């Protein structure tokens, strides 16, 4: 019997040792495990006092949700100014992008050129991407005041929770008494599938004879912020390492360029002929680039996200271009997230090209040694471009399927037709030596007389600046001055066969024409009349396409835009030979209390309007029986609500423009938001692609009106 007892004692000792070993291992693991593995401290509260605890946790939930929403709107920040992140109207010289001139939303760059746009030799890049997780400073007992998303949520809840609690006034009438025993201290933990927000707020709660001290409160926010952040980090890394924005922009320039003044100037090309060279103006090329980016940046997509669509084309070149617009996910799991890319036309780009004047012309060379003369025109242009792109990651399942959006900005930077790197050296620097062509002592033509006037009043127009270009050289010649009641410039020019003379004056439309100069030959040019710009007040109203009994019909009633709607208007002037190409743009929002101003000059115009609704529009999941198909839920934010496209000219002659003070424009509006969400169909989205068709069908009703 004693022997058995001894055996039992041995087993007990062994068991105790095993328990100690496992207990020690568990203790060590608990000390070294990541914070997100530790659950919140749950305190028992008397049933009578539970309404206070529930109310506090509801306020924590609301305040933390507000913080996470702000973080999604601003590129990872509740308030970017708290960390000295600056923004200006020029997004290529800022640390953040103003979403729109009328909006307070400013989105931080996660990658951008920190140096000036004209940097050379040592260009510095930077990032305002915050850390996801809060770090502890070595040797410190409390977290460092850092920019991590966890720390920002902590501070936001600490600073704003009391606003929701409202000193518990709503509970005083019910007999509750709350006495604070300490300050609010928040600890946020971003976990794999949600966000845990724990608040330590020592207090004593009393109701009648029931009294209890409570300190710990918590809530979980159903948003997969970790997965969203990882996807944003992956997209940013792909831009830093592989320059997908720059690659696609260069592909688009190659596709939209040609030796044609209606296209973009080509990066490389030549012509063997004696015809006049094709030339462009920098403002027009810049406008075309901005329109190209606005149309094609949204076609970028990330593989293995819920809104990714495989695009297949019979044209191999088109297939290759679109395939390069797909960003790989590198094996990440993002099936529950969607990604949208956008460039908006009111964000000015940085643009330069290898020309010393505003005229973009080819290099020309010719020879008469052969029986037939040969002329070579070389069209080799170096593009410098910087522009912002906003990336929005959408999580439809977040916030109990209410949805969540996280935005951040990336900046594309191209120099000399290549993606910019830190060691970039400009190839466009002007020589330190003075140009022989522009040397005033080398101007050997005869006197050339120029007279200028205002095209509207026929009055003499002084201070018109005159430039002369030959090949890639361009010189300032002088400006007209009043002499005997006329605005005149009479001087000698450099010698050039096939040169271009340009007339320019602020607030007037420029004009260019070919002018060949010869040794000692005098020329008196005909009177040059320049059209002045005028400024008109404009208002943009919408005329809806509405769905009635399953059919879309046009409603001719003009309506004001709502406060969360904005319209972007662009006008492209169809100029005569020699006139400077001119485009103008304006923005109008339903929230503004006065008209927008439009800078315009008499002439014929092509018109384009885009209307954007700055709120989420949902097309619910749809099941089709023939063929059997399940169409997923689609979320659009912002929603492209419509617009118009007038390619046939609107004639505004001098009289009509000068005699009226205001212009009222009308835009089509696809009223999909006006349909109850549960009645919206995926086929309804087809209406968004019919802008051009509807613009032609209802042209008469959509013509702008001068008032």
* Model confidence at 332: pLDDT above 80: no
CA dist., res. 106 & res. 76, Å (int): 11
* Model confidence at 6: pLDDT above 50: no
CA dist., res. 379 & res. 265, Å (int): 8
At 273, the pLDDT band (50, 70, 90 cuts) reads low
At 69, the pLDDT band (50, 70, 90 cuts) reads very high
Q: How high is the mean pLDDT of the chain? A: 83
- How many helices (H) and strands (E) are present in the chain, helices listed first? 12, 42
**DSSP structure class, residue 628:** T
Is 0.85 topped by the overall pTM? Answer: no
Please state which of the four CATH numbers 1.10.357.10, 2.60.40.10, 3.40.50.2300, 3.30.200.20 is assigned to the domain occupying 440-530: 2.60.40.10
CA dist., res. 253 & res. 85, Å (int): 32
The backbone torsions φ and ψ at residue 525, rounded to the nearest 5 degrees and listed phi first, read -75, 145
* Model confidence at 198: pLDDT above 80: yes
Mean pLDDT of 338-343: 94
CA dist., res. 511 & res. 578, Å (int): 6
Element housing 155 (H / E) = helix 149-165
Q: How far is CA 43 from CA 49, 171, 338, 601, in A?
A: 12, 21, 39, 73
Question: C-alpha angle 549/553/555, rounded to 5°?
Answer: 120
CA dist., res. 136 & res. 190, Å (int): 15
Three-state DSSP class for 322? helix
Residue-wise pLDDT tens digits, 384-434? 999 999 999 999 999 999 999 999 999 999 999 999 986 655 554 443 344
Q: Quick check: bond before 682 cis, omega within 30?
A: no
CA dist., res. 53 & res. 37, Å (int): 24
Three-state DSSP class for 121? coil
Please name which of 621, 608, 574 lies closest in space to residue 691, comparing C-alpha atoms: 608
At 382, the pLDDT band (50, 70, 90 cuts) reads very high
Mean pLDDT of 541-551: 94
Instruction: Please give the pLDDT value at position 277.
Output: 67
Q: Quick check: bond before 638 cis, omega within 30?
A: yes
Instruction: Please give the pLDDT value at position 473.
Output: 75
Please name which of 395, 346, 408 lies closest in space to residue 616, comparing C-alpha atoms: 395
* pLDDT-above-90 percentage for the chain: 45
Three-state DSSP class for 191? coil
Residue-wise pLDDT tens digits, 38-68? 566 667 778 778 888 889 999 999 999 999 9
Strand 603-613 to strand 565-574: parallel, antiparallel, or no bridges (unpaired)?
A: antiparallel
At 346, the pLDDT band (50, 70, 90 cuts) reads confident
**List of E strands, 58-194:** 96-98, 106-113, 125-126, 176-180, 185-190
Q: Which residues pair with 546 in a beta bridge?
A: 553
CA dist., res. 86 & res. 108, Å (int): 9
Residue-wise pLDDT tens digits, 488-537? 999 999 999 888 888 888 788 888 888 999 999 999 999 999 989 888 89
CA dist., res. 166 & res. 22, Å (int): 48
Instruction: Check residues 46 and 192 and name the one with the higher pLDDT.
Output: 192
Residues 6+ apart with CB under 8 A from 593: none
Q: What are the domain boundaries of the chain?
A: 35-85+128-221, 226-419, 440-530, 534-706
The backbone torsions φ and ψ at residue 139, rounded to the nearest 5 degrees and listed phi first, read 80, 0
- Distance from the first to the final alpha carbon of the chain: 115
Output the CA torsion 393→396→399→405 (10° steps): 20
Please name which of 600, 707, 620, 617 lies closest in space to residue 669, comparing C-alpha atoms: 617
Instruction: Check residues 258 and 320 and name the one with the higher pLDDT.
Output: 258
The backbone torsions φ and ψ at residue 389, rounded to the nearest 5 degrees and listed phi first, read -130, 135
Question: C-alpha angle 95/97/103, rounded to 5°?
Answer: 135
The answer to whether 565 and 641 have CB atoms below 8 angstroms apart is yes
Mean pLDDT of 531-557: 93
Q: Quick check: bond before 56 cis, omega within 30?
A: no
Mean pLDDT of 565-585: 82
Q: Which residue has the tokens 């001719």?
A: 556
* Model confidence at 435: pLDDT above 90: no
Please name which of 537, 600, 540, 533 lies closest in space to residue 573, comparing C-alpha atoms: 600
Q: What is the DSSP string of 330-357?
A: TT--BTT-EEEEE--TTSPPEEEES-SS
Of 104-118, 483-497, 641-655, the one with minimum mean pLDDT is: 641-655
* Model confidence at 10: pLDDT above 80: no
Instruction: Check residues 145 and 205 and name the one with the higher pLDDT.
Output: 205
Output the CA torsion 136→138→139→144 (10° steps): -40
* pLDDT-above-70 percentage for the chain: 86
Tokens representing residue 217 in the block: 């409160």
Helix pair angle (244-256, 282-296), 10° resolution: 120
Q: How far is CA 690 from CA 106, 552, 612, 615, 635, in A?
A: 32, 11, 16, 22, 20
CA dist., res. 74 & res. 70, Å (int): 6
The answer to whether 153 and 147 have CB atoms below 8 angstroms apart is no
Instruction: Please give the pLDDT value at position 137.
Output: 42
At 655, the pLDDT band (50, 70, 90 cuts) reads low
Instruction: Check residues 121 and 552 and name the one with the higher pLDDT.
Output: 552
Instruction: Please give the pLDDT value at position 156.
Output: 96
Helix pair angle (149-165, 50-73), 10° resolution: 130
Instruction: Please give the pLDDT value at position 275.
Output: 52
CA dist., res. 200 & res. 185, Å (int): 5
Give Cα 96 to chain centroid, integer Å.
11
CA dist., res. 100 & res. 89, Å (int): 9
* Model confidence at 542: pLDDT above 80: yes
Instruction: Check residues 4 and 611 and name the one with the higher pLDDT.
Output: 611
């Amino acid at each position: 019997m004693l022997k058995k007892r001894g055996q039992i004692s041995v087993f007990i000792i062994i068991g105790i040792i095993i328990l100690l070993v496992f207990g020690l291992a568990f203790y060590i693991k608990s000390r070294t495990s990541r914070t997100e593995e530790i659950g919140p401290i749950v305190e028992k509260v008397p049933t009578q006092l539970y309404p206070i605890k529930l109310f506090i946790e509801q306020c924590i939930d609301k305040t933390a949700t507000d913080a996470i929403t702000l973080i999604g709107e601003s590129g990872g920040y509740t308030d970017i100014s708290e960390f000295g992140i600056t923004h200006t109207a020029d997004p290529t010289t800022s640390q953040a992008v103003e979403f729109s001139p009328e909006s307070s939303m400013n989105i931080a760059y996660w990658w951008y050129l920190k140096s000036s746009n004209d940097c050379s030799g040592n260009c510095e890049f930077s990032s305002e991407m915050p850390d996801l997780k809060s770090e502890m400073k070595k040797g410190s007992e409390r977290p460092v005041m850092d920019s991590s998303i966890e720390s920002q949520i902590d501070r936001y809840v600490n600073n704003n929770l009391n606003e929701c609690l409202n000193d518990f006034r709503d509970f005083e009438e019910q007999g509750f008494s709350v006495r604070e025993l300490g300050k609010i201290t928040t600890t946020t933990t971003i976990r794999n599938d949600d966000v845990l927000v724990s608040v330590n707020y020592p207090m004593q709660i009393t109701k009648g004879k029931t009294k209890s001290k409570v300190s710990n409160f918590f809530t979980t926010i159903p948003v997969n912020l970790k997965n969203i952040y990882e996807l944003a980090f992956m997209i940013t890394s792909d831009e830093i390492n592989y320059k997908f924005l720059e690659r696609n922009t260069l592909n688009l320039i190659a596709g939209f360029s040609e030796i044609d003044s209606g296209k973009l100037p080509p990066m490389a090309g030549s012509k063997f002929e004696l015809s006049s060279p094709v030339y462009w103006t920098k403002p027009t090329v810049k406008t075309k680039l901005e329109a190209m980016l606005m149309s094609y940046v949204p076609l970028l997509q990330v593989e293995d996200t819920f809104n990714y669509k495989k695009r297949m084309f019979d044209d191999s070149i088109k297939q290759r271009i679109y395939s390069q617009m797909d960003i790989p996910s590198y094996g990440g799991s993002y099936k529950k997230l969607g990604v949208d890319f956008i460039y908006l036309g009111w964000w000015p780009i940085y643009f330069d090209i290898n020309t010393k004047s505003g005229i973009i012309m080819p290099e020309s060379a010719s020879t008469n040694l052969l029986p037939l003369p040969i002329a070579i025109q070389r069209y080799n242009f170096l593009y410098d471009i910087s522009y912002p792109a906003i990336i929005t990651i959408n999580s439809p399942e977040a916030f109990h399927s209410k949805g969540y959006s996280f935005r951040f900005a990336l900046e594309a930077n191209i120099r000399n037709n290549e993606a910019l790197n830190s060691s970039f050296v400009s190839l466009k620097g002007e020589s330190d030596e003075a140009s022989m062509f522009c040397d005033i002592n080398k101007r050997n033509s005869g006197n050339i007389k120029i007279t200028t006037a205002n095209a509207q009043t026929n009055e003499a127009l002084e201070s018109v600046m005159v430039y002369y270009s030959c090949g890639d050289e361009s010189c300032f010649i002088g400006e007209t001055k009043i002499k005997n009641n006329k605005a005149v410039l009479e001087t000698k020019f450099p010698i050039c066969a096939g040169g271009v003379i340009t007339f320019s004056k602020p607030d007037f439309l420029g004009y260019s024409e070919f002018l060949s100069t010869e040794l000692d030959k005098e020329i008196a040019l005909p009177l040059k009349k320049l059209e002045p710009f005028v400024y008109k007040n404009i208002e943009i109203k919408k005329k809806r396409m509405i769905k009635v009994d399953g059919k879309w019909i046009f409603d001719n009633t003009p309506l004001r835009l709502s406060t969360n709607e904005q319209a972007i208007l662009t006008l492209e002037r169809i100029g005569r030979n020699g006139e400077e190409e001119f485009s103008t743009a304006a923005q109008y929002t339903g929230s503004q209390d006065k008209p927008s101003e439009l800078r315009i000059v008499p002439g014929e115009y092509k018109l384009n309007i885009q209307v954007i609704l700055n709120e989420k529009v949902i097309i619910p999941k749809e099941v089709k029986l023939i063929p059997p198909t399940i169409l997923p839920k689609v979320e659009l934010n912002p929603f492209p609500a419509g617009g118009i496209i007038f390619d046939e000219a609107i004639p505004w002659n001098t009289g009509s423009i000068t005699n009226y003070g205001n212009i009222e424009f009308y835009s089509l509006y696809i009223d999909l938001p006006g349909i109850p969400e549960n009645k919206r169909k995926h086929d309804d989205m087809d209406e968004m692609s019919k802008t051009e068709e509807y613009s032609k069908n209802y042209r008469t009703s959509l013509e702008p009106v001068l008032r």
